[in-house]
Structure 1
Amino acid sequence: MNPLTILKQLHLSNLFFQALAGVALTFLVGYFVPPVGAFAEVIFFGFVVIFGIDLLLLFSKVEPAAGNRIVPQRLSNGDENTIRLQLSNQLNFTAQAEIIDEIPHQFQIRDFSISTSLPSGIEKEFTYELRPTERGEYDFGDINLFINSRIGFVRRKVSIAASQTVPVYPSFIQMRKFEMYAISNRLTDIGIKKIRRVGHTMEFDQIKEYVRGDDVRSINWKATARANDLMVNQYQDERSQNVINVIDMGRVMKMPFDGLHLLDYAINTSLVISNIALIKDDKAGLVTFSNDDSIVVKPEKKRTHIQRIQEALYNLNTNFMESDYERLVVSLRKHVNQRSLVLLYTNFETFSSMERQLPYLQRIAKDHLLVTIFFENTEMTKLLHEESKTIGQIYTKTIAEKFSFEKKQIVKALNQRGIQTILTPPKELSVNAINKYLELKARGLI
């Protein structure tokens, strides 16, 4: 092996320096006590021999270890993603190893390491979780191993080439979870309310023979007379209704909660709602708006349409300008011709900020069923439940109560004008949005 390579990979351990300090101390004592000096020479010789054996053990092979990192093709934003490391020891003895994986800089994890033992010739697998909070491309580096024998004087650094770039997409893990529950009709297990449908839907499906359990009010007497047997009308849920997710890209969506911006909560929920709508045979679409150009994905009901929506959501970013609601009105009139359920994800912190946009919201509500979704400030809610002990805390709590009251006033004002609202903590956004969608569908409002 190249001596330069050995020097690059060679790392002396703390144990080496402790043993060397012990040898030096023995020589120091031997200077004053001659018999100890002879003993110190024996110890030093033994130290050199053991050090040499340790070097031979660790550098006996050019490639002492092999392995790879298994990462999903894409990571899910805001969720725990499992990363797997598969490593094998090529040396002829069981080695102790410290594994340091080069994690993308976005996570800001500076102290990641796994200490383990690697038996000779046996592949071992290690897993850890990563929770990204930003969409985009994440660069993984090499896998670094610091290997040592049982002697422990020397550590050999081994770098396994494993550089790769992985994109982080809106939360498809959350989307699949809700999809699974929706397909199996178990949405109530995760907090979705079971809403009783009022009356019949008006979309006729077929006439069929009456069987026990059918609603007698659905008996078709004319068909019964012709067939000389009881016949009933069968209905199905109204289908192909438009569900449009509208996302505000302005500065109000930049506020962070639990590592994610409000925009990311809105993006993740838009993906979930779009997928649920497609499962329910509705058409899902997407519109974004800010102070400049918008993105429009026209509503369709093909199951593959969810991929187009996901790709559109992947590249969304907020800016620091105030959003232009007039642009939103124009965009909806231009691209959405059919009356639709419009889920508007935005945020109003004060009553006056809502009042400025109210004429545009009312204009949208004339053409569509508008649901305005904005966020409860969970940090402020915590303040409201804390006991105030000082004048400063009383003052802070009073201001928090004022903002909380304004949020309730916004809900009341919008409801009075026929605009549906959802005021929700960011973490409960998906559940509350699905509940509202299913409620409006059950009431026959869309």
Structure 2
Amino acid sequence: MLDLLKRLYLLKGVYIGFGVIICLFVISFFVPVLYDLVWILLWLFLIAILSDIMALFLGNNKIVAERTLPERLSNGDENPIKIAVQNKYTFSIDCQIIDEIPFQFQKRDFTIKQRIKSNEKQNFQYALIPKKRGVYQFGKLNIFVNSPLKLVAKRYTFSDKQNLACYPSFIQMQKYDLIAFSKNKFAFGLKKIRKIGQTTEFEQIKEYVIGDDIRTINWKATAKRNELMVNQFLDENTENVYCILDKGRTMQMPFNGMTLLDYAINSTLALSNVIIKKNDRIGMMTFSNKVENKILAENKKSHLTKIIEQLYSIETNFKESDFGLIYNQIKYNITHRSLIILYTNFESLSNLNRQLKYLRAIAKSHLLLVVFFENTELTKLANKKALNTDHIFDKVIAEKFNFEKRLIVNELTKYGIMSVLTKPDELSINTINKYLEIKAKGKL
């Protein structure tokens, strides 16, 4: 009985019905002839409520539902959540599906309303876009089923609480994996770069995949296996690449709900996958007031998993970054000439000048690529039409800061340091383009 009361909900029709009956009782005080009729109406209404309750509560498992979650969430991407609901009642139902979404999304009014016919199964899907790495807890799946007369509702509860880890964007990684090795790269934003020279040192025979050079098809092996096989050659320029992520306060700036650091983390994962597929070795470090998450450059298939776990576990208090510290780490731990990709952010030329001596020192022993960000809000402000003197003042200030960003690029170029100035949402594609350009031109 207690369980029934916990799952029973009176709908608006019940309160309206009782309100009407009370009004009729008041009227019958002045019109006595209505008194008996109102009592009959009351009993009929109570019988209707009871029949509605019996229709909903007689029998077990009249509603079957299941929520399907992905194995893990991808940060900054749409993650599909699937719900399947089956109606085993002998009548059609109007139901309200309320999924207890993790608190990080701040969706307190999420609901799906649907009519489901008798013995019908319907599938629903919605998407969630997480903005932070970490653990997300899904609560219970609640389904409120209205009675045939819509006087009462019954709550069904499914799925226990489930925890999902939100990892750096593996969806983006898979996307750029396909694009980087596609013949139609230009359509996706990747530049087509002609590679200078090609090695002829044989490594193995493998199955043909889209993107392989058809000139390397091994016709004898193809005839034996009855499927296309190609010769794979060792790349003559297998190099070390290190992604260095600045975890300092300048990387705390938000863009579309995510910090610049999380954009850099997503980009590092996508780039690492491409680097490994290009037979280069990838390593990483992070730094702010100390150096952490150190991984030496390797090219093993299992190495990407290690990088994913390190990127997932990155934590920071966004303190002031010590570039001298990361310079010392690079000097003593990366002994071979490598491509150093430094994800950081400089808002002004004076910010750069304070760290320039360390960047120049790194560039003496390694090929340094500094990746930093456009301030998109200032760009919008600079492009906005000025309507009054205040707008003109704001526009001039915004243009000044944007111009300083371009001066930073020029200053880095003057000392032989490559750079990528990019919008946060174009970070991965621009960084991958630059890496492919460096590799194709044999700059290392």
Give the TM-score normalised by the residue count of structure 2. 0.90
1:153-192 equivalences in 2 (<5 Å): 153-192=151-190
1:19-168 equivalences in 2 (<5 Å): 19-168=17-166
Match of 1:354 in 2: 352
Letter paired with 2:31: V
CA displacement at 1:415 relative to structure 2: 0.5
Match of 2:9 in 1: 11
CA displacement at 1:408 relative to structure 2: 0.9
Q: Deviations over 1:54-99 (max 9, x none)?
A: 1111111344423221111111000000001122234333222111
Segments of 4+ in structure 1 off by > 4 A? 234-237
Distance across 2 between alignment mates of 1:53 and 1:9: 16
Q: Deviations over 1:123-176 (max 9, x none)?
A: 322111000000011101111111112201111122223211010000000000
Give the TM-score normalised by the residue count of structure 1. 0.89
SS in 1 for 2:412: helix
Letter paired with 2:443: L
What do you get for the CA RMSD once the two structures are aligned? 1.9
Q: Are the aligned partners of 1:246 and 1:287 in contact in 2 as well (CA < 8 Å)?
A: yes
Q: Deviations over 1:233-288 (max 9, x none)?
A: x9974342112111001111111100111011000010111100111111111111
Distance across 1 between alignment mates of 2:402 and 2:332: 36
Q: Are the aligned partners of 2:349 and 2:405 in contact in 1 as well (CA < 8 Å)?
A: yes
Match of 2:268 in 1: 270
* Segment drifting more, 390-399 vs 267-276: 390-399
Distance across 2 between alignment mates of 1:61 and 1:380: 63
Match of 1:205 among 194, 201, 204: 201
Q: Are the aligned partners of 2:288 and 2:318 in contact in 1 as well (CA < 8 Å)?
A: no
Q: Are the aligned partners of 2:293 and 2:314 in contact in 1 as well (CA < 8 Å)?
A: no
CA displacement at 1:392 relative to structure 2: 1.9
* Segment drifting more, 257-266 vs 28-37: 28-37
Q: Quickly say closer, same or farther: Cα 1:334–1:90, change in 2 above 3 A.
A: farther
Q: Are the aligned partners of 1:94 and 1:149 in contact in 2 as well (CA < 8 Å)?
A: no
2:248 maps to 1:250: yes
* Segment drifting more, 127-136 vs 81-90: 81-90
Q: Are the aligned partners of 1:104 and 1:140 in contact in 2 as well (CA < 8 Å)?
A: yes
Match of 2:284 in 1: 286
Q: Deviations over 1:190-242 (max 9, x none)?
A: 100111234x25x4537xxxxxx99xxxxxxxxxxxxxxxxxxx997434211
Q: Are the aligned partners of 2:245 and 2:344 in contact in 1 as well (CA < 8 Å)?
A: yes
Distance across 1 between alignment mates of 2:233 and 2:162: 53
Q: Are the aligned partners of 2:180 and 2:190 in contact in 1 as well (CA < 8 Å)?
A: no
Any unmatched runs of 5+ in structure 1? 207-212, 215-233
Any unmatched runs of 5+ in structure 2? 203-213, 216-231
Q: Are the aligned partners of 1:282 and 1:301 in contact in 2 as well (CA < 8 Å)?
A: yes
Q: Quickly say closer, same or farther: Cα 1:182–1:405, change in 2 above 3 A.
A: closer
Match of 1:331 in 2: 329
Q: Are the aligned partners of 1:254 and 1:318 in contact in 2 as well (CA < 8 Å)?
A: no
Distance across 2 between alignment mates of 1:182 and 1:303: 18
Match of 2:206 in 1: none
SS in 2 for 1:284: strand
Q: Are the aligned partners of 2:91 and 2:148 in contact in 1 as well (CA < 8 Å)?
A: no
Q: Deviations over 1:353-382 (max 9, x none)?
A: 110000000011111110101000101100
2:350 maps to 1:341: no
Match of 1:261 in 2: 259
Distance across 1 between alignment mates of 2:294 and 2:372: 21
Distance across 1 between alignment mates of 2:59 and 2:430: 60
SS in 1 for 2:201: strand
Distance across 2 between alignment mates of 1:144 and 1:204: 62
Query: How many residues in Structure 1 have an aligned counterpart in Structure 2?
Result: 417
Larger Rg over CA atoms: 1
Distance across 2 between alignment mates of 1:187 and 1:164: 39
Distance across 2 between alignment mates of 1:20 and 1:314: 57
Match of 1:369 among 343, 367, 370: 367
Distance across 2 between alignment mates of 1:137 and 1:205: 46
Distance across 2 between alignment mates of 1:32 and 1:428: 77
Q: Are the aligned partners of 1:61 and 1:91 in contact in 2 as well (CA < 8 Å)?
A: no
Distance across 2 between alignment mates of 1:370 and 1:161: 50
